[in-house]
Each structure stands twice: as C-alpha cells, then as structure tokens.
Amino acid sequence: MNGRTQICRGRGFRFYARIYRKILVQDLKSKMSYRADFIISTFGMVLTNIVGFLSFYILFQNFSSINGWGYYEMLYLYGFSLIALTPLQCLFDNNWNLRFAVRSGDFIKYCFRPINVFFYFISEVFDVKGLGQLVFGVGVLAYAWSHLVIPVTVVTILQLILLLLTASLFMIAIMNAAAATCFWIINSGYVMVIMFRFKDYAKYPASIFDGFFKLLFTFVIPIAFIAYYPALVLLRPDEIPLLSRISPLIGILFFYLSYKFWMLGARKYEGTGS
C-alpha cells in the first residue's frame, strides 16, 4: 500500500463533505456565468420529460392497462424512475468526460493528489439541470400517488426515501462500470451510450418482458431495480417479492463493485503512466 492510499483511507466523511462543498460552490459559480446555457439545457430536460409523460397519456387512451398495470401505476413508476435517476444526473455526470480525460492524458492529474481519485474526479461536475428532472419527477409521482390507494404516513415517506436512494445506486453503478471501460477500451463511448439508453426501460414493469429480458434487466443490467422492484413495496404491499425486500443490499453491492472496477482502471492508468 503506498503512502497516498494510506492518507486517503485516513480521511473521514467530514473532510470529504467540506471538500465537496467547496468544489460545488466553484462549479455552480462557473455555470451561473452562462445563464442562457443553463436555462436552455434545463428547459430541454423538462421538455424531454414532458414528452415521456405525454407518451403514457396517449398510450392509455388506447389501452386500459398494460399486463395488469394501470395508468396511475405506470405514472408512479415513471415519476419514481425520474427521481431515482436524478443523483446520477446531478452528481455523477462527469463520468461522461472520463474517456476524454484518459485519452488526452489529463486524468493523470487526479492520481497525484492525497485524496480519493474517484471522489476527486466525480465531484468536479454538478449537473444543475438534473434538478429540473427532480422537480418534474416529484410532480408526476405526487400526482400518481394521489390517485392510488397508498397511505401518506411518516413510515411510507421514509420507505419511499430509502427505496429511491436504493434505486439510484443501480443506475449509478451501471454508469460507473460503463465509464470505467475507457481504461481498457479506446472507443468506449458507445458502451456508455448503450448503457444509458437502457434507463428508458426502467419506467416499465419488468413483468411485461419475457423470460430472457426479465433475467437480463434483473441480474445482468439491473434496470428493473431502478423503479419496478423498489416501487412494488408501496404499490403492491401484498405481493412484495424477495428481490424487492433485499434491493437495498443488492444496490449497495452493485455500487461497491462498480466503484472497485472504476478504481481498478484508475490504478492501471496510474501504474502504466499512460
């Protein structure tokens, strides 16, 4: 174990929280200097989500349900997935720039500071337009909730928060792993694009897919955990599968594995000096 690794492991949560707050302030100041770009990008994000909302409305003008899932249940999944994807959008957006930093050689600067490389790289960018997605997602979820027989209590709200955090870990893990392929694959951009597009399936219940795709979206590319399995806890409390109950543990495991894979690539990069 080298000296830098020992120092990084000695840093506590308060240290990283303080560092992140300072980086965040500087990043937001930089973005606010281009307000037109911020407004346009945020409007584009909201417009994209409105189109998704309208697609559900049009679909259910022709069908009363999809494999036993009604309009408001589907809206609940859609709103849930939007909120669950917000941490990825806001906090981990710099993963999209990883391949460029590795290819240009700029990534080497992250390898010589006495701070966790993953934290240092990821914390440099906060995508504020993701907050527009969050607001829209909360609105859709609240609208769907108001039409479903789900009690509004302290317990259900706390459950919802835990389930949303759990769901977030899965997509973050997928994109961490996809981004880290750039340490081994030169043209790795397509890997990220493909993995990111899979998020569109998160708003649909996994039960509508056949056996192969259900297994794929559950155990290989765990898209079903972004909304379907966590949402069942509140949507259908009388038929909660085991995967829904243990989804927090699975989410933590997936995130940890993706982090270790990312760091493995970073150590390879640092070791080769490429």
Q: Residue 230 corresponds to which tokens in the numbers above? A: 């966590």
84, 164 Cβ separation under 8 angstroms: yes
Produce one character per residue of 219-256: b if its CB has 16 or more CB atoms within 10 Å, e if not.
eebbbbbbbbbbbbbbbeeeeeeebbeebbebbeebbe
The dihedral of CA 214, 217, 219, 222: what is its sign?
Answer: negative
> What is residue 1's predicted lDDT score, i.e. its pLDDT?
44
pLDDT-based confidence at 148, cuts 50/70/90?
Answer: very high
**87 vs 211, which has greater pLDDT?**
87
The parent domain of residue 75 ranges over 3-272
- C-alpha to C-alpha distance for 172 and 118, rounded to whole angstroms: 13
- Rg over alpha carbons for the chain, rounded to the nearest Å, is 20
Confidence of residue 2 (pLDDT cuts 50, 70, 90): low
The CA-based dihedral angle spanning residues 152, 50, 179, 218, taken in that order and rounded to the nearest 10 degrees = 50
Q: Is the pTM of this model over 0.75?
A: yes
Closest by alpha carbon to 125, among 202, 21, 217, 24?
Answer: 24
Mean of the pLDDT values across residues 129-158?
Answer: 91
Percentage of residues in the chain with pLDDT exceeding 90? 51
Q: What is the pLDDT of residue 155?
A: 94
Check whether 5 has a pLDDT greater than 60: no
Number of domains in the chain: 1
Whether 223 shows a pLDDT value over 90: the answer reads yes
Reported confidence tier of residue 129, pLDDT bands at 50, 70, 90: confident
**How confident is the model over 29-40, as pLDDT tens digits?**
776 766 676 677
pLDDT tens digits, residue range 239-255? Answer: 889 999 999 999 999 99
| Alpha-carbon span 159 to 148, nearest angstrom | 16
Decide: residue 117, CB within 10 A, 0-12 exposed, 13-18 middle, 19+ buried.
buried
Per-residue confidence (pLDDT) for residue 29, from 0 to 100: 75
